[in-house]
């Protein structure tokens, strides 16, 4: 693995090795795997707290609600419904020459059909301002100080998988108990839906829609549709993508996004997402980042990282799911 703590789909020949039968970039594991916390259902950030009153949170941010933890000023606070139904998952190198081997469904079958129930996904990646509101309210420890140093409307980075899970659990409680939460969201949470990181299948369906496109906007890379091949992040949603599935923003580029799925070989099966969690594992991240090439921002691209990895190109977005 690379010394930056992240495994991408593949790297050049001098960096490749095999891990669980799939090629990943060379990296040393960054931190111990905290699976016992996840399996026990506890809050990964709950054991250590510090006062968060000194964390700056903007009083106002255009397009976001100051009375709702700086979530988007939309009827569902930025959550977009993705209807139930099947989609094509994985890559066929005959149709996508940039596809990596780890995106192939089976040796005899390049892609698979996955039926995904209805869920809601964030239109944007979680921002610095939103994460700062969480830190100020809970005292959650910020291990990487750069996490809160970018402009407030940029995606938060420098957060581990465990930090992202802690944020989801806090926001679920906050939404469920607040009088400002839209009634439709309150009803979802009252009836058993939860705030979470997306599964790998949920993320890919939201990114590519039902027509199997290579990128969220179509089959060709476009610099005017995503933040990639540049030196830093951009404000969430600042690159217009009218062709993108479901009206979502930054599904390609800006930052890699944590998912709740462990990194495993295909075929994908959500039922086995907990298999092997008592051993060393990586968590899937999707979407590519600002510093990636067109190959790594494809909708079917897969990356993986240790759950303790905090990097300036990894962030997350949320779903509301059953």
Per-residue pLDDT, 272: 76
> What is the per-residue pLDDT for 251?
98
Question: What domains appear along the chain, each with residue ranges and CATH number?
Answer: 34-321 (3.90.1580.10)
* Residue 252: predicted pLDDT: 98
Give per-residue pLDDT as tens, 76-94.
999 999 999 999 999 999 9
Q: What is the pLDDT of residue 95?
A: 94
32-38's contacts with Cβ under 8 Å and 24+ in sequence apart are 32/308, 33/280, 33/281, 33/306, 33/307, 33/308, 34/162, 34/307, 34/308, 35/277, 35/278, 35/281, 35/307, 37/162, 38/165, 38/277
Handedness of CA 269, 274, 276, 281 (dihedral sign): positive
The Cα diameter of the chain in Å comes to 56
> Mean pLDDT, 10 residues at a time, over the chain (322 residues)?
53 31 31 32 43 81 97 98 98 96 96 97 98 97 96 98 98 97 98 98 97 96 98 98 97 98 93 64 95 98 97 98 96
Model pTM? 0.86
């Amino acid at each position: 693995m690379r010394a930056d703590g992240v495994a991408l789909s593949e790297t050049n020949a001098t960096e490749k090795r095999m891990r669980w039968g799939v090629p990943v970039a060379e990296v040393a594991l960054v931190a111990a795997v905290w699976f016992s916390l996840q399996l026990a259902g506890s809050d990964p950030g709950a054991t250590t707290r510090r006062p968060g009153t000194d964390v700056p949170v903007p009083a106002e941010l255009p397009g976001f609600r100051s009375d709702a933890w700086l979530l988007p000023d939309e009827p569902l606070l930025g959550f977009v419904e993705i209807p139930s139904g099947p989609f094509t998952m994985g890559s066929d190198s005959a149709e996508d020459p940039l596809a990596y081997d780890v995106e192939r469904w089976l040796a005899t079958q390049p892609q698979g059909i996955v039926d995904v129930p209805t869920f809601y996904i964030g239109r944007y990646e979680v921002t610095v301002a939103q994460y700062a509101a969480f830190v100020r309210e809970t005292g959650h420890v910020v291990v990487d100080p750069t996490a809160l140093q970018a402009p407030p409307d940029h995606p938060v980075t420098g957060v581990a998988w465990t930090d992202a899970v802690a944020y989801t659990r806090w926001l679920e409680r906050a939404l469920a108990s607040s009088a400002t939460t839209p009634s439709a969201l309150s009803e979802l949470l009252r009836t058993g839906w939860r705030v979470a990181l997306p599964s790998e299948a949920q993320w890919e369906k939201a990114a590519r829609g039902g027509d199997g496109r290579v990128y969220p906007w179509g089959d060709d890379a476009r610099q005017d549709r995503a933040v990639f091949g540049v030196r830093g992040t951009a404000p969430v949603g600042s690159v217009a993508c009218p062709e993108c599935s479901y009206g979502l923003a930054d599904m390609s580029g800006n930052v890699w996004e944590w998912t709740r799925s462990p990194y495993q070989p295909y075929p994908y099966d959500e039922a086995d997402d907990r298999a092997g969690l008592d051993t060393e594992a990586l968590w899937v991240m999707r979407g590519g980042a600002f510093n990636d090439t067109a190959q790594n921002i494809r909708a079917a691209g897969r990356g993986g990282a240790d759950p303790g990895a905090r990097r300036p190109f990894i962030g997350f977005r949320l779903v509301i799911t059953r």
